Amino acid sequence: MDIATMDGITAREIPSARLRSRVLFSGADSGTPVVFVHGNVSSATFWEETMLALPAGFRGIAPDQRGYGGAEPAKKIDATRGVGDLADDLVALLDQLEIEQPHFVAHSLGGSVIWRLMMDHPERILTVTQIAPGSPYGFGGCKGLDGQPCFADSAGSGAGIVNPEFVERIKAGDRSSDSNVSPRSTMNSFYWEPPFVPAREEELLSSMLSIHTGEQAYPGDATASENWPNAAPGVWGPNNALAPKYAGDVSRLYAINPKPPILWVRGSDDQIVSDNSLFELGTLGSLGAVPGWPGMDVFPPQPMIGQTRAVLEQYAAAGGQFEEVVIADAGHSPYIEKPVEFNRHFHAHLGA
Q: What is the pLDDT of residues 153-211, one digit of tens each?
A: 999 999 999 999 999 999 999 999 999 999 999 999 999 999 999 999 999 999 999 99
Q: Which one, of 79, 140, 91, lies nearest residue 119 by Cα?
A: 91
Q: How far apart are the first and last CA of the chain?
A: 37
Could you give the CA distance from residue 99 to residue 174 in angstroms, rounded to a whole number? 38
Fold designation for 10-351:
Rossmann fold (3.40.50)
Residues 6+ apart with CB under 8 A from 210: 1, 3, 43, 64, 68, 69, 70
The predicted model gives 34-57 an average pLDDT of 98
Q: Per-residue pLDDT for 1 more than 80?
A: no
What sign does the dihedral 176-181-184-188 (CA atoms) show?
Answer: positive
Cβ partners under 8 Å of residue 268, min gap 6: 326, 327, 328, 329, 330
Domain boundaries, the chain: 10-351
Chain segment 100-127, per-residue pLDDT in tens:
999 999 999 999 999 999 999 999 999 9
Task: Report whether pLDDT(92) > 80.
Answer: yes
Tell me how many helices (H) and strands (E) the chain has: 12, 14
Residue 326 CA: distances (Å) to CA of 131, 261, 347: 10, 17, 16
Give the span between the Cα atoms of 28 and 31, in whole angstroms.
Answer: 5
Question: DSSP code of 189?
Answer: I
DSSP letter at 227 equals S
pLDDT for the residue 2: 85
Burial class (CB within 10 angstroms; exposed 0-12, middle 13-18, buried 19+) of 10: exposed
pLDDT digit string (tens) for 214-261? 999 999 999 999 999 999 999 999 999 999 999 999 999 999 999 999
Please, what is the average pLDDT of the chain? 98
pLDDT tens-place string over residues 124-166: 999 999 999 999 999 999 999 999 999 999 999 999 999 999 9
In the DSSP assignment, the letter for residue 78 is B
